[in-house]
Structure 1
Amino acid sequence: MSQRSELLTHWLSEVLNTSDFRLKPASEDASFRSYHRLFLQEKTYIVMDAPPPQEDCTPFVQVTNTLLACDINVPMIHHMNLQQGFLLLDDFGNDLYLDKLSSFSVKQLYSDAIHALVRMQSSAEVEKLPVYDDSLLRREMQLFTEWLLKKHLNIELSNEQNKSMDLLSDLLVGNALEQPQSFVHRDFHSRNLMVTKLKNPGVIDYQDAVYGPVSYDLVSLLKDCYIEWPRKEIDVWLEFYLDLLEQNGTEIDRNKFRRWFDLMGVQRHLKASGIFARLSHRDGKHGFLNDIPRTLSYIVALKADYEELLPLCSIIEESVLPEFKVFV
């Protein structure tokens, strides 16, 4: 047993006032965090292990309270030790959206998710959230160049390509900042939504929430890095979302929102593909590499509508996608 495991077991024994429990790995996370399912008598809980200094549980606790206040189904925190990086949480079970989505279930599951999203955006307190600013948006996009192109594929862009990427970054940052700003979960997708019997969905992994572009979470959900839907269906759900916004008193020009949505997706998918490469090289989590072709295909699909994306699409189609044998 590692020193970290011993520390966790000791903490659990203290807060539960018993050592009569079992722990099993619960899920893999795209970070330094790990999760365990705790079995205690006839109940189960989730233990979050977020080792400092790599992780800080404080934002998770703060955002949990924020989302509970607007009636979002997030796990209750039963015990915590922020200094050691341990939390004992409600267990939402094993039913990820990703595993339960199908042509039969998607309408209801996405309807529930979009209702929850609109409620977060319209009700969540945002004063204490970090701002999704110019600097953060650019740092995220640099992950594509630094980790996917340079580190994973050993690709060095030409001066002309670097200039085109700089221009694109300016465009994408401007697109993000000109939108209405609201609560942003920042990872609102099928691996962070749980199917629950009551108040579906259960929402998890929200500790990186920020105050940012209104289209961000919707594009995370509808152009999911882990599951893909036909464009016609995405259009229907996008309209459903805008209808809900209007019912809540917020009207947005629909053509303008479409552009915000599409270009926000480009920023997110550049970031995500870089993160997937980083997870492989830094953390040994190689399975995420299989999600890169799908993630970048969302960008390529836009090239007929946005000529500003053509230089990036050329890089992706000519230099990146051919290096991946599995195109999902």
Structure 2
Amino acid sequence: MSPLAQRQAQLMDWINHSTPFLCQQLHMVYGDASFRRYFRFTFDERTIIAVDAPPTFEDSEKFALVAESFAANGLRVPDILAADHTLGFYCLNDFGDEQLAHQLNDHSCHQLYPKALALLPKVQQCTATAQATLPAYDHKLFTREFEIFTQWLLDVHLGYRLTAEQHAMLNDTFNVLADNFFEQPKVGVHRDFHSRNLMMLQNNEIGVIDFQDAVVGPITYDAVSLLRDCYRRWPDKWVSNWLAAFQQQFYPQYPLVKFTRWFDLTGMQRHIKASGIFARLHHRDGKSDYLEDIPRTLGYMVDIGKQYPELQAFVQFVEQEVLPSVLALANSAKGKVVLLAGSKR
């Protein structure tokens, strides 16, 4: 029996012997970019979500504490029906399968994105749980995330060897983005607030999931995570309009020009991190579907970065070196798949 199958069997045993529920069969719902896995089972004519969050990698206790804090601030989050944080197992009420992402189109986005953005002031009020203040999105974490890009995308995925001049350029870029990041007002940050982590519930409410990595960080982080989604891109004019309306409604004390710069450069930091994470998911975790999202994150870096003179060297590097290499590698991999398929005829 594989380790994953063993964990699933242990989860079912825990449900049947340590919770008020009985489970005859677990149906895999999905796995995400983390080590968590989600299952659905039926008990007493209701469906329940069972979560396997291996304690070596996941902090299920923090999930429970943040859920409590989010709920206290008026956010719809799953109820925790049973939990064993030592084992890394818990049961949640079922929010269904309808993500915000599923309902987005060129028309609905103009209603759904403002509705989702309106949740952020409640998220931002959550800077602590019942036990402690949320971790700070500090320089150590910021640096570690930047290094994911250089290690996993440039080195591991592309085999790219940086020159001394390129190292200096990346260091300058890091400093520009860090200055922007840490000058912003500090608020509660979900840290992965995007259309796949927002669920459409009954009465057209939006439920929030996947918040266990919440921190205290920059005021624009979750807004740019939502509007400049790593998995789907919208016209820049639409994003600018949504951002301006959000700023005017909730943060008119900050000039729009300053707020937009905060938003843009925070998005640059997030997409730099995400491109490295997507490469790591492929090489370390065998989750190769995320490779197709790397060009989109790099495209954001190029198009947004071109608006800021201090980022031109980095933009040129991504546009002329990184993006072509990523695309060439992707095309090469597709060609190999075609050749292998042809050889089996």
Deviations 1:74-104 (A, max 9, x none): 1010000000000101111111122221012
Q: TM-score, normalised by structure 2?
A: 0.90
Of 303, 306, 309, 2:305 maps to 303
Q: 1:289 is aligned with what amino acid?
A: L
Q: Distance in 1 between matches of 2:327 and 2:95?
A: 35
1:60 aligned onto 2:63:
yes
In structure 2, the residue matched to 1:6 is 9
Q: Distance in 2 between matches of 1:213 and 1:18?
A: 41
The alpha-carbon distance between structure 1 residues 261 and 18, as it changes in their structure 2 partners (threshold 3 A), is closer
> In the TM superposition, what are the counterparts of 1:1-328 in structure 2 within 5 Å?
2-17=5-20, 19-121=22-124, 123-126=125-128, 128-198=133-203, 200-246=205-251, 251-322=253-324, 323-324=326-327
The answer (yes or no) to whether the contact 2:28–2:38 under 8 Å persists in 1 is: yes
1:244: how far off? 2.3
Deviations 1:225-245 (A, max 9, x none): 011100110011101211221
Gaps of 5+ in 2: 332-345
Report the count of equivalent residues: 323
Q: Distance in 1 between matches of 2:107 and 2:269?
A: 31
Deviations 1:141-193 (A, max 9, x none): 11111000100000011100100101111111111110011000000001111
Q: 2:177 is aligned with what amino acid?
A: L
Q: Could you say what secondary structure the match of 2:11 adopts?
A: helix
Q: Distance in 2 between matches of 1:86 and 1:194?
A: 22
Q: Could you say what secondary structure the match of 1:27 adopts?
A: strand
* Worse overlay, 106-115 or 231-240: 106-115
Q: Could you say what secondary structure the match of 2:254 adopts?
A: coil
Q: Distance in 1 between matches of 2:111 and 2:63?
A: 28
Identity %: 43
Q: Distance in 2 between matches of 1:238 and 1:219?
A: 9
Q: Could you say what secondary structure the match of 2:202 adopts?
A: coil
Q: Distance in 2 between matches of 1:213 and 1:298?
A: 19
Q: 2:33 is aligned with what amino acid?
A: A
The alpha-carbon distance between structure 1 residues 69 and 19, as it changes in their structure 2 partners (threshold 3 A), is closer
Larger radius of gyration: 2
RMSD of equivalent CA atoms? 1.7
1:199: how far off? 6.2
Q: Distance in 2 between matches of 1:17 and 1:293?
A: 47
Gaps of 5+ in 1: none
Q: Distance in 2 between matches of 1:18 and 1:181?
A: 41
Q: Distance in 1 between matches of 2:202 and 2:318?
A: 41
Q: 1:174 is aligned with what amino acid?
A: D
Q: Distance in 2 between matches of 1:168 and 1:125?
A: 29
Q: Distance in 1 between matches of 2:149 and 2:250?
A: 32
1:114: how far off? 0.7
The answer (yes or no) to whether the contact 1:98–1:226 under 8 Å persists in 2 is: no
The alpha-carbon distance between structure 1 residues 304 and 53, as it changes in their structure 2 partners (threshold 3 A), is closer
Q: Could you say what secondary structure the match of 1:270 adopts?
A: helix
The answer (yes or no) to whether the contact 1:113–1:200 under 8 Å persists in 2 is: no
The answer (yes or no) to whether the contact 1:46–1:91 under 8 Å persists in 2 is: yes
1:31: how far off? 1.1
Q: Distance in 2 between matches of 1:147 and 1:308?
A: 25
Q: Could you say what secondary structure the match of 1:291 adopts?
A: helix
Q: Could you say what secondary structure the match of 1:301 adopts?
A: helix
1:318: how far off? 1.8
* Worse overlay, 275-284 or 123-132: 123-132
The answer (yes or no) to whether the contact 2:40–2:50 under 8 Å persists in 1 is: yes
Q: Could you say what secondary structure the match of 1:75 adopts?
A: coil
1:17: how far off? 4.6
Q: TM-score, normalised by structure 1?
A: 0.94
The answer (yes or no) to whether the contact 1:112–1:200 under 8 Å persists in 2 is: no
The answer (yes or no) to whether the contact 2:23–2:41 under 8 Å persists in 1 is: no
